C-alpha cells in the first residue's frame, strides 16, 4: 500500500505493509464470576461516645446527625416542641443541616451553643 504525506509543503510517498489484520487481534478469556457476599460489620472506633453523651433512650435526647458547627439553637429549657419543630441548625462543608424534633417533648437541657463544634451522635438537647 502506498501513502502520500505532505510535510511543510513537500510531498513524500511511502510504501506501507500491513503486518497484522484487525481480525487477528488476540481473544482473551473472560474472568470467572465470583459470588458476591456481604455481611456488614461494625468498624472499630467508628462512633465513640463523647463526654456529654447521655445513656438514655433516643426519646430523651437529640443527637447530632453530622460532624459540624452549631450555627443556631432554636429551643430553650422548658419549651415544648412538636414533631418537625426546628431545634438546632448545624453547618458542615458550607452546607446547613436543620435538626428537628422527632416527637412531642419538653426541653430539659440545651447542651450546645452557637459556635460549638459537634461530632456525629453528640447530644445536642435533652428532653424530659
State the CATH number of the domain containing residue 71.
2.40.50.100
- How many Cβ atoms are within 10 Å of 45's Cβ, its own excluded? 6
In a domain, 55, yes or no: no
Cα 108 to Cα 39: distance, rounded to the nearest angstrom: 40
Predicted confidence (pLDDT) per residue in 48-70, tens digit? 554 554 444 678 999 999 999 99
Q: How many domains does the chain have?
A: 1
The whole domain housing 123 covers: 61-127
The C-alpha cell at 34 is 465470583
pTM: 0.56
In a domain, 86, yes or no: yes
pLDDT at 1: 78
Identify the residue with better confidence: 33 or 92.
92
Among candidate residues 53, 64, 60, the one with its CA nearest the CA of residue 88: 64
Q: Cα–Cα distances in Å, from 126 out to 12, 82, 89?
A: 86, 15, 16
Amino acid at each position: 500500500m502506498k501513502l502520500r504525506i505532505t510535510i511543510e509543503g513537500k510531498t513524500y510517498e511511502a510504501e506501507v505493509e500491513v503486518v497484522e489484520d484487525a481480525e487477528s487481534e488476540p481473544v482473551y478469556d473472560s474472568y470467572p464470576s465470583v459470588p458476591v457476599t456481604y455481611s456488614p460489620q461494625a468498624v472499630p472506633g467508628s462512633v465513640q461516645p463523647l463526654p456529654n453523651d447521655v445513656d438514655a433512650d433516643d426519646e430523651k435526647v437529640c443527637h447530632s446527625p453530622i460532624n459540624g458547627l452549631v450555627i443556631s439553637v432554636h429551643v430553650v429549657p422548658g419549651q415544648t416542641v412538636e414533631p418537625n419543630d426546628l431545634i438546632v441548625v448545624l453547618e458542615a462543608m458550607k452546607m446547613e443541616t436543620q435538626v428537628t424534633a422527632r416527637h412531642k417533648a419538653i426541653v430539659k437541657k440545651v447542651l450546645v451553643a452557637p459556635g460549638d463544634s459537634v461530632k456525629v451522635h453528640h447530644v445536642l438537647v435533652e428532653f424530659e
